[in-house]
Structure 1
Amino acid sequence: MTPRPAPSPALIDRIMVVMEAAFDPAYGEAWNRRQVADALTLSSTHALVVDANGAPIPDEGDFSEGPAPAGFVLTRYVLDEEELLLIAVIPGARRRGVGAALLEHLFAAARLRGVTRIFLEMRRGNPAIQLYHKFGFEPIGERRNYYRMANGERVDAITFGRSI
């Protein structure tokens, strides 16, 4: 994987606003700023931030100007496969089409990259499963006791795939 220039601080700021609001600390799923920045230095990793209407927000520009970030998707691809690493929507924008818009944007961008299949992994019990099923993701694997929650409890991981 080829390194690229450091990602825009504004992009990382927007992602982190959503990250901090969207992920429940009990599950330990949120990434820190360094993890996001490091991932985005790889040419195979992509991020998209959208507003509450599902419209993309430019990566550059003053963070304090323009629409507030409501969701993001972070992915990486190799050859014709893409992995959805993280998708998040702030609580106030959930069930309003923001997650659906993120997936639609992801599918369109992935097709342009020549991707034919998208994968994701989630913890069992994650309510996002409804969105994934709606968009045609099917379970293809399971990892028993894969995730460790903040309280030490172990939770299974389910892997999903979808052709595009």
Structure 2
Amino acid sequence: MSLQVERISVASAARLARVHARSFDRPWPEAEFASLLHMPSTLGLSVSTGAGLAGFVLVRIALDEAEILTIAVNPDARRSGVGRTLMAAMEASLADSGVSRVFLEVSTQNTAARALYERQGFSRVGLRRGYYGDGTDALVLEKTLPGSGQDGA
């Protein structure tokens, strides 16, 4: 399967909301995506296949750090490398922008996402009890990006 990565614009908000709705029990509305994509500090990347939008990631950048706000892979495209492709493209783009560390929160119950982040080199740096609306905890994960001068220096 050929995966194509591209930057997301505000015009993609409706498509992102549809994929998010298929991926999460509490999806974000289209207006939330539009609002985030209007902010200059938000980086959005998508992966498409011949069948359309396969997944996307939204990241907020603050100086030399970034936080993954959400990452979603269309259920029809899971286990095909979309998540890994998104993460690699995001990390390269962030490193090019001078970002040295990336953070995210992930539900302790989301074993598939936790496995992806672990394979990508993220490590646990904290726990947020009752973080999600259903009362589940969130792990706080961090990754130092290669070439940032902080990877073992």
Give the TM-score category using the shorter length: 0.7 to 0.9
Equivalenced residue count is 136
SS at match of 1:146: coil
2:132 pairs with 1:131: no
Q: Which residue of 2 aligns with 1:77?
A: 61
2:10 touches 2:38 (CA, 8 Å); kept in 1?
A: no
CA RMSD of the aligned region, Å? Answer: 1.3
Deviations 1:74-128 (A, max 9, x none): 0010111010000000111111100000000000100111000000001111121
1:119 touches 1:160 (CA, 8 Å); kept in 2?
A: yes
| 1:105-120 superposed matches below 5 A | 105-120=89-104
1:124 touches 1:156 (CA, 8 Å); kept in 2?
A: yes
Q: Counterpart amino acid of 2:42?
A: T
2:78 pairs with 1:94: yes
Unaligned runs of 5+ in 2: 1-8, 146-153
- In structure 2, what is the Cα distance between the partners aligned to 1:108 and 1:17? 26
| 1:1-164 superposed matches below 5 A | 7-9=9-11, 11-23=12-24, 25=25, 28=26, 30-52=27-49, 67-127=51-111, 128-149=113-134, 154-164=135-145
The alignment's TM-score, normalised by the length of structure 1, stands at 0.78
Unaligned runs of 5+ in 1: 1-6, 53-65
